Amino acid sequence: MKKIMMLTIFLGAVMTAFGQGKNVTKANALLTKGELAEAAEMIEPAITFEKTMEKPKTWYTRAQIYDQISQSEDEALRSKYPDALKLAAESYLKTRELEKEGATYDGLAQLAYDQLYGRALNKGVENYNSGDYAAAYDHFMDVSIINPTDTTGYLYGAMMAQEIEKYDDALMNYEKLIEMDKYSQSVLSSVVFIYLNQKEDPENALKYVRLGQKKFPEELNFQRQEVDILIKMNKMDEAIEGLKVAIEQDPGNALLVGNLAMLYDMTKDLENAEVYYKKALELEPDSRNALINLSVLYISKGDAVMHKVNEMSIKEYNKNIDAAEKESFAEYNNAIPLLERVLSLDENDELGLQNLQAVYAKMKNGNKATEIYEKRKALGYVSDED
C-alpha cells in the first residue's frame, strides 16, 4: 500500500512539473492571441516553480506579457496590473541574468528592455516639447521605474513636477538624485528654492544649502544663501558668522561686506556697522546702498544724542543743549557728503533727497531744507498735503 501511495505522490509531482512547464507554452500562446490577462495568470505560477523558475524562456515570456499590458489601450486591463511596466522591466533583466551572454534570450531581452526604456523616454520628450508637462512627468516616472539606477527619469521628472507645481513630487525626485550622489549645483538650488518659496520650510532649505557648501565648496552662492536664510530665521549671530566666512573666501566682494554692515546695523552694533560700511565703500565707492545706509547710521547717531538731551529736565537741558547740538551736528555733517555722493550719481535719487532734506532741517538750515523740499515736490515725491 505504501508503494502505491509513494508512486501516486511521485506521479503527482511529475504531473505538476509537467503542468508548470506547459504553463509557459500556454502563456506564450495566449500572449500571441492578445489574451493578456489570461496569459499573466498562466505565467505567474511558473516563475516560482523549481523546474521553470530558472529558465530564461519563462522570464522572457513573462516580460513580454507585462510589456504588452503596459502598452495596452484597455484601461481596465492596465488598472488590473498597475505594476505591469515594472514587472516587464524586472523580467527582462532576470532573463539576461539567467541566460548566457550572447545567447538567444539574452539578446532578445536586451533589445526589448532598451525599447521599453526608449519608448518611455521618447514619449516624455515628445510631451515636454508639446507643452504637456503632466504627461511628460508620467512618462519620465516610467523611465525611473524601468531603470531605477538611471538619473534621467528622476531629473526630468523633478523638472516636470516643478512645472506643474507638484512640489512634493519634485522634491522626491531631486532627493532621490541626492541620495544616489548624482546631482549638480542646479539640483540643490532647485531644492532650496522649493523649500524656501513653496514649502516655506527654511530649516530644510538651510540643510541643503549647507550640503551645497560641502559638495561644491567653490560655489560661493551657497554661502550667501545660508546667510539669507539665517536672517529669515532671525538667527542674526549665525548669519554674521556666516558672512564673515564668506568674506574670508571672497574678501574683495563689496556686496558681502555691505551685507555684513547691514547685519551689524540691524543688531544695533553701530560701531561694527560703521566699520564695514566704510570697508564696503573702499571696495566700491559708488555703492548706493552703502552710501545711503552709512548716512542713515550717522543721522541716527545724531538723533540719539538729541533724544537723550530732550529727555532731560529743563535745567539739565539748558546745561547740555549746546554740547549736544555740537555732537549731533558733527554726526549730521558726516552724512552730508555721503548723500551728496548719492545725488552726484543720480540727482533725482528719491531717498538721497529725502534724507538730505531731513539733515538740513535737523541742522536748522531752513534755506537748504526748503530748496530740497521744492525739488522733491517738483519731482512728484511729495504732495501739497505733506
Domain boundaries, the chain: 12-98
Establish how many alpha carbons lie within 13 A of residue 340's alpha carbon, considering only the half-sphere containing its beta carbon: 8
* Residue range 166-180: mean pLDDT, rounded: 97
Amino acid identity at 209: V
Sorting pLDDT into bands at 50, 70 and 90, what band is 12?
very low
Report which DSSP code applies to 251: T
Q: What is the pLDDT of residue 15?
A: 45
Q: What is the pLDDT of residue 159?
A: 97
**47, 49, 55, 60 alpha-carbon torsion, rounded to 10°:** -20
pLDDT of 218 above 90: no
Q: In whole angstroms, what is the distance from residue 364 CA to residue 79 CA?
A: 83
Q: What is the pLDDT of residue 8?
A: 45
What b/e readout covers 25-59, taking b as 16+ CB neighbours within 10 angstroms?
A: ebbbebbeeeebbbbbebbebbbebeebeebbbbb
Q: What is the pLDDT of residue 6?
A: 45
pLDDT of 104 above 90: yes
102 CB-near residues (< 8 Å, 6+ apart): none
Amino acid identity at 255: L
pLDDT 10s digits, 29-77: 999 999 999 999 999 999 998 889 999 999 999 999 999 999 999 999 9
* Among 195, 129, 192, CA closest to 156: 129
Determine what percent of the chain is predicted with pLDDT higher than 70. Answer: 94
Q: What is the pLDDT of residue 20?
A: 52
Q: What is the pLDDT of residue 2?
A: 45
pLDDT 10s digits, 261-289: 989 998 899 999 999 999 999 999 999 98
pLDDT of 190 above 50: yes
Q: What is the pLDDT of residue 385?
A: 59
131 CB-near residues (< 8 Å, 6+ apart): none
Which of 61-70, 248-257, 314-323 ranks highest by mean pLDDT?
Answer: 61-70
Q: What is the pLDDT of residue 255?
A: 84
Amino acid identity at 183: Y
* Residue range 126-131: mean pLDDT, rounded: 97
* Residue range 85-95: mean pLDDT, rounded: 97
Determine what percent of the chain is predicted with pLDDT higher than 90. Answer: 80
> What is the grid cell recorded at 236?
542674526
367 CB-near residues (< 8 Å, 6+ apart): none
What b/e readout covers 327-337, taking b as 16+ CB neighbours within 10 angstroms?
A: bbbebbebbbe
Across the chain, mean pLDDT equals 91
Strands (E), the chain: none
Q: What is the pLDDT of residue 208?
A: 95
319: Cα separation from own chain's centroid: 61
